[in-house]
Amino acid sequence: MNNRLLVNSKNTSLLHELVTSLKQCKSFYFSVAFINFSGLQLLLDPLKEAASRGVEGRIITSTYLNFTEVKALEKIKNFDHIDLKVFSEVEEKGFHTKVYIFEYENDYKVIIGSANITQSALKSNIEWNVEVVSKGESPFVQDVLKEYEYLWEISDDATSEFLTEYEKFLGTLKEASYKPQQVFERSNYIVPNKMQQRAMENLRRLRSFGETKALVIAATGTGKTYMSAFDVQKVKPKRLLFIVHREEILKKAKETFEILFVNESMTFGLLTGNSKDKEADYIFATIQTLTKYYSEFDRDQFDYIIYDEAHHATSPSYQRIMEYFTPVFMLGMTATPERSDSMNVFDLFDNNVGIEVRLHEALED
């Protein structure tokens, strides 16, 4: 096993080592946290030359910190001999790898260090990268290849749909008046927490018994909106109506559903003072606007209706809506079901409590 340190200096650079390796290898495997077009440009000619020799390669990159450029990914996809995958960043698991693997007739060259594919990282930055040349059967090479295969399996294919989705997300960040610390997430990486799992199972059980109404009682911050979206994913209603009493809550609820249903064909719309998206599959409405327009919908128009802050549901405006619509299933959500007047929120949902998580229990979780 031969090892050496690679740094960018007056005499050499990581770029020089990558170019030389691409000219001699029979296949290659890269995994880097991000790829900029400036860095990829430096490797385009060596990649074309490798392609002319029939050399095949795999590249994994990520949406880490939203640094990877769509233009770079699209350029890589133009190479028939390169398979490309992207690891979608999630909050609890970042993607920081920087590894370049080259396979030769009798051995492997593995370069692991600090350099991503950017112009400065490949040519001028202070980067430390260790190059190891070893036989394919060595434990080190086997461990590297095994780990690479694992990363390959958990990453997403860089399909046209994926790139469009990622590009749209980056566009929203550029248009924002401020720069929020957001990461590009895909719905398959968002999973229910403990409360949400229990609530969904109980709702499923209630429906299996023929119940058509349920109330979820959970402290603020436990994720009631996400829970409802997860349940809707399971039920798959054709039309959904989500009702709240404040527009700012409504927009956040709509965003939550759009995140989870990102790869599905549902349309989402608002029914508020300023928006009248009545034809959308999933409509998010304020009670104030809905009371003016509810009669324009058929009574059985919606398969699933959600009443957020359901302790308001005893008021006359909510009662008109409840008496009019006949959904397949009706869900109420609240942190405070008890009222000081004589009205009973529990009765409105047939006394079916899907889950009850009070503040002390939420804090323990």
pLDDT of residue 179: 45
pLDDT of residue 248: 77
**β-sheet with 82-87: strand ranges across:** 2-6, 129-134, 108-113, 98-103, 27-32, 56-62, 82-87, 156-157
pLDDT of residue 177: 44
Does 195 reside within a domain? yes
- Indicate if 7 and 147 belong to the same structural domain: yes
CATH of the domain at 130: 3.30.870.10
Does 181 reside within a domain? no
Does 183 reside within a domain? no
**What token pair was written down for 146?**
């095994």
Q: Alpha-carbon distance 331 to 234, whole Å?
A: 14
pLDDT of residue 60: 97
Does 84 reside within a domain? yes
pLDDT of residue 127: 95
Residue 238 Cα to chain centre, angstroms: 23
Model's pTM, two decimal places?
Answer: 0.54
Give the HSE-up count for residue 204: Cα atoms under 13 Å, Cβ half-sphere: 14
* CA angle at 83 for the pair 79 and 84, rounded to the nearest 5°: 100
- Indicate if 133 and 195 belong to the same structural domain: no
φ, ψ (nearest 5 deg) of residue 286: -85, 145
pLDDT of residue 184: 61
pLDDT of residue 88: 80
- Indicate if 110 and 239 belong to the same structural domain: no
C-beta atoms surrounding 301 within 10 Å: 18
- Indicate if 78 and 204 belong to the same structural domain: no
Q: Of 151, 175, 199, at which residue does a domain stop? A: 175
Burial of 168 (0-12, 13-18, 19+ CB in 10 A): exposed
Does 184 reside within a domain? no
pLDDT of residue 361: 60
Does 162 reside within a domain? yes
pLDDT of residue 130: 97
pLDDT of residue 158: 94
Q: Alpha-carbon distance 259 to 47, whole Å?
A: 36
Burial of 302 (0-12, 13-18, 19+ CB in 10 A): buried
Which structural domain range is residue 157 located in? 2-175
- Indicate if 126 and 226 belong to the same structural domain: no
- Indicate if 64 and 120 belong to the same structural domain: yes
Among residues 60, 73, 51, which one has the least CA distance to residue 30?
60
Among residues 280, 285, 326, 287, which one has the least CA distance to residue 303?
326
- Indicate if 206 and 150 belong to the same structural domain: no
Task: Tell me which residues of the chain have a pLDDT lower than 50.
Answer: 91, 177-180, 340
- Indicate if 277 and 334 belong to the same structural domain: yes
- Indicate if 31 and 171 belong to the same structural domain: yes
pLDDT of residue 180: 46
- Indicate if 114 and 91 belong to the same structural domain: yes
Does 180 reside within a domain? no
Amino acid at 213: K
* 88-95: long-range pairs with CB below 8 Å, 24+: 88/62, 88/63, 88/156, 88/184, 88/185, 88/186, 88/189, 89/62, 89/63, 89/64, 89/65, 89/183, 89/184, 89/185, 90/183, 90/185, 90/189, 90/190, 91/183, 91/185, 94/64, 95/33, 95/62, 95/64
DSSP 67-96: -S-HHHHHHHHT-TTEEEEEEPPBTTB---
- Indicate if 142 and 227 belong to the same structural domain: no
Does 133 reside within a domain? yes
pLDDT of residue 7: 95
- Indicate if 129 and 222 belong to the same structural domain: no
